[in-house]
Amino acid sequence: MALAQRKPLNLEKFKIPRGRVIIFEELCKGCELCIEYCPKQILELSEDYNERGYHYPVLKSGMEDECIYCLFCQEVCPDFAIFSEKVEGEGHG
Amino acid sequence: MQIKKEHPLERLLRRERMPHILCTGCGIGTTMANLVEALEEGEFDLDKISVVSGIGCAGRVAGYLNLDGFHTTHGRPIAFATGLKLTNPDLTVIVFSGDGDLAAIGGNHLIHAARRNIDIKVICINNFTYGMTGGQLGPTTPSGTWSSTSVYGNYEIPFNLPYLLCACGATYVARWTSAHAHHIKNSIIEAMHHKGFSFIEVISACPVYWGRKNKLRTGKDMVKFFLEHTEIKRHPDPRDALIQMGTPILCGVFVNEKRPDYLDMMKAQLSKKLGISEFRGDGKVTLPEEEKKVVSEMRPPKEIKLTQIKLAGLGGQGIALLGLIMGRAASIFEGYSTVYTQEYGPEARGGASSSGLIISSRAVNMPYTTAPDILVIMAQGAFRKYRKDIRENSIIFIDKDLVRPKNIPNSVKVYAIPATRMAEKLGRALVANIVMLGFFTAITPYFSVESAEKAVKMSVPKGTEEFNLTAFKEGYEYGRQYGRA
């Protein structure tokens, strides 16, 4: 138990970065890779269709500020349709 | 409310060509994204990078990246890349292509480029199938899986590409799957800094063809399959890298070693033999600027109207050379504009052979002779073939013994000379064409004797000039009897 309670002394210094997800709906082909990869699971498939008839990812309601700027979605997206932007100065506690 | 912003990788993409043709869930898109991320993250000089790709789905990538690139013929991206690298060693050349392109049709280029250790970076998309043409069996389709041309299951053993490349001498060999996005990126950066032949195999999802036939219908399913069925090792043995269903796909960096590359070896060898110390691409060699030679424009001596000449005979009679000499005499030594073409069959001797020449005092805008005004015919077969081109007031030159003109309009002027017989008397039947040239020179006004003699000297093999000039004079004297046309 003692082991589990150990924490770094300078933990307060570190902040998990925050990001803002930006999605180009019209470029999406609905492969769902970003939804699969997102470690915080903040994306889901939209009800709506885009111009070409694909469902595109949207942020789950209430989780708009949960992005941790890991850039996984940007790395896996085959269509360059999603990216995350760092929100400076803010962080998840 | 979405705020429309620019994608951070926008400057590396050609958005006007997007959305790309790749299917939903295709692994090529992810690999391309990782390549772009790697170039961005590694802060490489984009002016010094070029992408070469072949044919197939993966071959489209060169067109989507905003980098200099080649979209080459099927299977040949490595051949193009080799040329590019050797011509401009300052460039970093990336080959981005598929398994069918690189390992099947271009297999020989791949193994020899690896053997020579040419400093190019090859990213091979291995999606187990020929995607663009409908999912046929490829050299990398795993045994026991289905494709549209192996409907009972594939019974062949696929290529073990990392093992093949290691055996051929590649100095950087890695394999990842399209599910390992981050690893691909790091591997590309590593390969970009590596000097020597680098090969990164990306096992890529093709949900539409290979996946659909093998119960992995979506890109998501394939990514999950890859993540579950791969084994990443620190120093994997390429001998275990054969992809079989039921055993994990071995991933990792198989080889990363230093060996002098092709250019280094070449320079070391040539410096010793030729005493050269500086080569192009060393970053210190400046080529001397060539002085521009002022060429005085030659005025044609007199106005003549455009004349089309057709020369025809059998292969071996020197028809092509005759046309060439006439063209040289008229253009180089007289200053007319000429166009010269030749056509011949695959036989070296005896087949049909012809050449065409157009002479004019103005610029010639025709690529080849269409309606000849003058025909030079040295064989009966050629006469039959070009009989239809003989019109009213045409002029034809024939070899008296070999050609019997029949069914020609009365207005046609026929100049006949026993050229072959005269050549034989001189010693060699070979110079019949030169005899004909002399005859032609005597009768037509297109070039002078001096010009024709200069052109003969310039065109015949060294040491035979005198003999050819004798033949020329024989023909010329014979022609003098006719007087100028």
Domain around A59 = 27-87
3-class DSSP assignment, residue B411: coil
Mean pLDDT of chain B: 87
Quickly tell me which residue has 């005092």 as its tokens.
Answer: B361
pLDDT score, position A3: 63
pLDDT, tens digit, for every residue of B260-304? 999 889 888 888 888 877 777 665 555 567 777 776 666 666 788
Q: Is residue A15 part of a domain?
A: no
- Stretch A26-55: mean pLDDT: 88
Give the C-alpha separation, B304 to A59, whole Å: 80
- Count Cβ–Cβ pairs < 8 Å, chain A vs chain B: 72
Q: Tell me if chain A has a CB within 8 Å of the CB of B65.
A: no
% of chain B beyond a pLDDT of 90: 45
Q: What's the domain count of chain A?
A: 1
Quickly tell me which residue has 């994990």 as its tokens.
Answer: B248
Give A80's contacts (C-beta < 8 A, 6+ positions apart): A24, A27, B7, B9, B13, B18, B33
Q: Which residues of chain B lie closer than 8 angstroms to A30, CB-CB?
A: 24
pLDDT, tens digit, for every residue of B17-35? 877 888 888 899 999 999 9
Confidence of residue B5 (pLDDT cuts 50, 70, 90): confident
Q: Is residue A13 part of a domain?
A: no
E-only strand ranges, B15-138 = 49-53, 68-71, 92-98, 120-126, 129-130, 136-137
Contact across the interface for B25 and A36, Cβ inside 8 Å: no
Chain A residues 1-20 with a CB less than 8 Å from chain B: none
Q: Is residue A59 part of a domain?
A: yes
Q: How far is A47 from chain B (nearest CA, A)?
A: 17
Minimal Cβ distance to A31: which of B19, B24, B32: B24
Q: Is residue A2 part of a domain?
A: no
Predicted structure pTM score:
0.66
pLDDT score, position B315: 75
Give the C-alpha separation, B218 to B212, whole Å: 8
Q: Tell me if chain B has a CB within 8 Å of the CB of A64.
A: no
pLDDT score, position B463: 87
Contact across the interface for B2 and A32, Cβ inside 8 Å: no
Confidence of residue A90 (pLDDT cuts 50, 70, 90): low
Q: Tell me if chain B has a CB within 8 Å of the CB of A27.
A: yes
Report the helix count and the strand count for chain B, using DSSP H and E.
16, 16
Q: Is residue A64 part of a domain?
A: yes
Q: How far is A15 from chain B (nearest CA, A)?
A: 23
pLDDT, tens digit, for every residue of B309-320? 999 888 778 888
- Stretch B468-476: mean pLDDT: 91
Give the C-alpha separation, A22 to A81, whole Å: 8
Confidence of residue B1 (pLDDT cuts 50, 70, 90): very low
Q: Is residue A10 part of a domain?
A: no
Q: Which residues of chain A lie closer than 8 angstroms to B18, CB-CB?
A: 27, 79-80
- Which domains, ranges and CATH numbers included, belong to chain B? 10-263 (3.40.50.970), 307-480 (3.40.920.10)
Q: Tell me if chain B has a CB within 8 Å of the CB of A57.
A: no
A34-38, B200-204, B342-346, B431-435 — which is least confidently predicted? B342-346
- Stretch A36-46: mean pLDDT: 91
B2-6, B204-208, B243-247, B278-282 — which is least confidently predicted? B2-6
Q: Is residue A49 part of a domain?
A: yes
Q: Is residue A71 part of a domain?
A: yes
Confidence of residue A51 (pLDDT cuts 50, 70, 90): confident
- Stretch B416-441: mean pLDDT: 88
